[in-house]
Each structure stands twice: as C-alpha cells, then as structure tokens.
Amino acid sequence: MSSHTTAKPILEISGLSAHIGGQQVVEDVSFTVPATGITALLGRNGVGKTSTIKALIGLIDRTGRVELDGRRIDNEPTWKLIRRGVGYVPEDREVFSKLTVAENLRLAERDAHPRRQLVDELFPDLVKRSGQLAGTLSGGQQQMVSLARALLNDNKVLLIDEPTKGLAPKIVQEVAEALEQAAATVPILLVEQNLQVVRRLAGDAVVLSGGRVVHTGSALEFLDDADLTQRLLGVHADGEAETPAAAQEGAAR
Amino acid sequence: MSTVVLLFVTGLGLGALYFLVASGLSLSYGLMGVLNFAHGSFLTLGAFAGWEVARRTGADSWWTFLLSILIGAAVGALFAAFTELVLIRRLYERHIEQVLITVGLSLATVALFEGIWGTDPVFIDGPAWFSQTTSLLGAQIPNDRFISIIAAALVLLGMVLFLKRTRYGMIIRAGVENRSMVTALGIDVRKAFTLVFTIGGAAAGLGGVLASHYFGYVSPLLGGSLLIFAFIVTVIGGLGSLTGAAVASVVVALLQQFANFYLFGTGDFVVVIALALVLLFRPSGLLGRKS
C-alpha cells in the first residue's frame, strides 16, 4: 500500500490520557493521522487501542488535546464533534439489534444528501436485507451495517475499531476491500489485529504499549521488522501466531 | 360470571391508569437510566389542573371533560419538561443524586399541593354518563372504566406509532438499546431525553384526570399511591419496554382485582409476590432486554 506519508495531518492528538472507572487506560498519547490513506493503530491485546479511539471522541473520560483538520474538538461533546466529520465504527459493531437495517442506516444519516449509492454499491447484501432486524444478521453482515453507517456521511476521518474481528476469512476479504475503497475518499485510523489486513491496507502505523505510543512510522517497514513486531506485538514477522507468552500477557491486561 | 366480567373490566380500567403512569417511567428509565420518583407529581398536578377546569366551566359537560383532559396532559407535559431541563439534565449518570432530587421533588410538590388545595380529598363530578353503568354479559360496568381503557389504548397506539414512524421515535428506540452509540452517530440524545420526559408527563397528566374520575376524587397523594404500582408494573414489564408496560399494567391490575375479591382483600400482597417472582426468575421483566 502507500508509504509513510508526510501530508498535513487530519487528526492531531497530543497528551491524550483516559480513565475508565478510575483506572488509567491511555497515558499521554500523542500522534497524528495523515489526511490520506489508512493509519493502523497497533498493539497487543489490552494496550489501550480501543480506549484511545473512544477517548478521541469523548466516549470515555479523557484529558489532552485533539484537533480535527486544525480545529480543536476535545472540548466538545461526542455528538457535536462527530458532526464535524468523524465517522466511528466501534469494536463489536454495536448495531441496534431491534432496529431494521434500513433504520440503522437512516439513524446514521447526518448529511442532507447521504451517500446512499456508495453504500449500496459497497454492500449490496444490505439492500436486500433492509427490512431485516439488525440483531438477526450474521456477524459479517452486522459489520457491513456498522461500516455503512460511517460511510453514509461525508466525513473528514473514519475511526474504525477491529472491523475484521471474529469474521470468516472470506468476509475479512470483503471488509478489507470495502475499507480499501473507502480509503480512496477519506482517511482512516484503523485498529486491526489481523496483520495481513494491515499489510494490505495501511500506509502508516502507530504502535501502543502499556497505554503509550512506542513506535510510529511506515506500516510496511514496521511489519517487515521481525524483531520489532515480535517485541511490540508479540507476533512473528509474517504477522500470524501470537506467542503463548504474549497471549498470556494480553489476557492478563 | 357477571362478577368475573365486572372484575375483569374494572381491572382493565385500573390497568389503563397504571399504564398511563408506567409508560413514561419505563421509557425514561430505558433511555436515560433515570428512576423518576417525582413522576407521580406530574399525575397529581394534571389531576388538579383538570379539576380546576371542570369546576370553573361546568363539570357535567363532555366538552369540559375533554378540555380538562387536554389541560391535564399539557400541564403534566410542561411540568415534566421543566423537571428534565432544570433538575435532571445536570445529573445524568449520577444516579444517587437523581434519586435524591426526584424524591425531594415529590415530597416538596405534595407539600405544595397541600398548601394550594388542602390536605383533604377534593371530590369530582363528570358527565352524568360517567356515574351510570352499562350492562355487559350480565355485569353492570361503571362507564368511566371504559373511558380509561379507551384513553390508554389510544395513548399506547399513539406512542407505538410515534416510536415506529418518526425519527425521534427511532432515536428513542435506539437509545434504549445503546445510548452511547446513538451519541457516537452524531445525535444530540439530550433532545430525546426531554421529549421522553415530556411525553411521559403528558401521559401521567392525562392519567391524573382519568384517575380522578375513576376514584371520584383528587388529592395531593393521588400520584404517589399510583406511582408505587406503576414502578411495580415497570419492573414486571421490563424497564424500557412500552409493550411490556402495557402487558404488565393489565396483569398487575387484574391480579389485584381478582385477589382482592377472591382472596380476602390480598390484592396488594399478591402483586408484591408477583414482583418478587419476576425479580427471582426473570429479572429483566416480561419483555425487557436481557442485561
């Protein structure tokens, strides 16, 4: 994919810290997201990737500075900063199970002219299932709904949290293709454990450890450095099996 | 047979009143997590407002009755909206403070109502038809029961249509399921909070006017006495479920009526037993979401 970019950042995060139930989960995190392409936010299980995403949009208590396209947004409530052009695809999809697919999408429409055509082209299955309750969809289909909700609007950046988690390999490919197409029009900050997907999609990588940023740079260069990936992600350079020790550490967090 | 029919229809009438109070409670808890102990005050104020309309414009007129219903619902709605905007809005996610302020408000309003309208019940008249009966399968049914049942059915229908057919209804349904995700879609969910409170207040105000005709009086304690059963209905039906509130309202009221008649006046006791059984074996309520 694209190489490490030096374009003007769309998202600038500095000194971001966050707490859940009094426990610090993100500590003094600073990084930028370029205005084009996909930036991967990587790290072992439990290092604070999801918390960082949630803190960015104020879903958990946080301090620090967040700027979207040069405008400070950390002092705004979640709904307001989202309306400034942030699309959010949460971990575990979080579709509204008792609403239909069509209702899930209508609820997400913020713009006067939502990008229905794009969404219908990317996810034709959802058109056929528009009257179906979202709670009755498969995991992959729910992920499509979750992605579609974010893609409906003309966003400045998308925050996408583990979109391939728990999906079958065929669906992972479909999700990756959808992300690739989406990235052509909007920058994405992507949390992803599947390193093959990261290798395929991401230009830049930000690596967290213990709630802190420990590495930033080109995603490919990072993934090609076997020692670094082993040390920071607990995986082999080919991006597959997590070592038992790393898995244990992740589970303990 | 006629006794069973009488108990059944009277129970439905009482269930209708429970539903008018419980619907707002259930939605406000489901969406906002607010247990509103001041909800009964919306009902009481609506009832007194309806009574004031009736005594000033002629209680025996159908037009007066319809006007009193509208005024009662409007006053309940305004009081509820005021409560949400001024007192509750600052306290979301602070549940202890919410309980304290709504309990305090309910106590303060009872004292206020006693100061304005006195501590004794105020007896109320309606159109002459209300005090007559209609023969149904051999039972003589007081006509005002039919009014309560019809009003509650219309309110249920209106609420269902609102929830199913409007964007705000969709926001409320989604918010009951996952409030933070609604916010993360760029929706200011606080407007939905105010709307739910206002709708609940209107239903309670309407319920107050109907309750005053059902029981034949208004008193500052009217809302509080119905609120207890409305809470039970809300828990049995499932917090956040409008349909659950409707079903549980009927179940609770029928249990109460039949137990009072056939089990030596133990209606309230039987209702509490039913509540305990639901909490033990189906804590999410009859139609509530699983936690």
Contacts of A99 in chain B (CB under 8 A): 170, 173-174, 177
Please check whether residue B87 is in contact with residue B41, taking contact to mean a CB–CB distance below 8 angstroms. Answer: no
> Which residues, other chains included, contact A135 with Cβ-Cβ below 8 Å and sequence gap of 6+?
A95, A97, A98
Determine the straight-line distance between the first and last CA of chain A, rounded to whole angstroms: 32
CA dist., res. B291 & res. B279, Å (int)? 13
* Contact assignment for B167 to A106 by CB distance below 8 Å: yes
Contacts of A96 in chain B (CB under 8 A): 173-174, 177-178, 181
pLDDT at position A238 = 57
**Interface contact A82, partner B, CB < 8 A:** yes
DSSP assignment of A82-111: HHTTEEEE-TT----TTSBHHHHHHHH--S
Residue B185 covered by a domain:
yes
Task: Collapse the DSSP code of A25 into the 3-class scheme (helix H, G, I; strand E, B; otherwise coil) and give the result.
Answer: strand
B206-224 mean pLDDT? 95
B187-199 mean pLDDT? 92
Share of chain A above pLDDT 90, in %: 80
Confidence of residue B60 (pLDDT cuts 50, 70, 90): confident
* Contact assignment for B187 to A79 by CB distance below 8 Å: yes
* pLDDT for residue B67 is more than 90: yes
Residue B237 covered by a domain:
yes
CA dist., res. A113 & res. A107, Å (int)? 14
Residue B274 covered by a domain:
yes
pLDDT at position A251 = 37
The pair of three-digit structure tokens given for residue B71, joined into one six-digit string: 């005024």
* Contact assignment for A96 to B171 by CB distance below 8 Å: no
pLDDT at position B27 = 87
pLDDT averaged over consecutive 10-residue blocks of chain A (253 residues)? 62 94 90 96 93 96 95 96 96 94 96 90 93 95 95 96 92 93 94 95 94 92 92 70 40 35
How far CA A121 is from CA of A41, A99, A100, A115, B219, in Å, comes to: 28, 22, 19, 10, 62
Residue B260 covered by a domain:
yes
| Superfamily for domain range A1-85+156-175+184-253 | P-loop containing nucleotide triphosphate hydrolases (3.40.50.300)
* pLDDT for residue B240 is more than 50: yes
* For chain A, domain boundaries: 1-85+156-175+184-253, 94-154
Q: What CATH number has the domain bearing residue B191? A: 1.10.3470
Total tally of structural domains belonging to chain B = 1
* Contact assignment for B177 to A98 by CB distance below 8 Å: yes
H-helix or E-strand spanning residue A237: none
pLDDT at position A123 = 93
Nearest to A57 among B174, B178, B184 (CB): B184
Residue B288 covered by a domain:
no
Size of interface A-B (CB pairs under 8 A): 57
DSSP state of B290: P
Burial environment of residue A28 by CB neighbours within 10 A (0 to 12, 13 to 18, 19 or more): middle
pLDDT at position A248 = 39
* Contact assignment for B185 to A108 by CB distance below 8 Å: yes
What integer best gives the mean pLDDT of chain B? 93
The pair of three-digit structure tokens given for residue B9, joined into one six-digit string: 């229809």
Please calculate the CA angle A129-A133-A136 and round it to the nearest 5 degrees. Answer: 90
Confidence of residue B290 (pLDDT cuts 50, 70, 90): low
Domain boundaries, position B276: 2-281
Contacts of B185 in chain A (CB under 8 A): 79, 82, 88, 107-108, 110, 149
Confidence of residue B289 (pLDDT cuts 50, 70, 90): low
Please calculate the CA angle A53-A144-A152 and round it to the nearest 5 degrees. Answer: 75
Complex ipTM value: 0.87
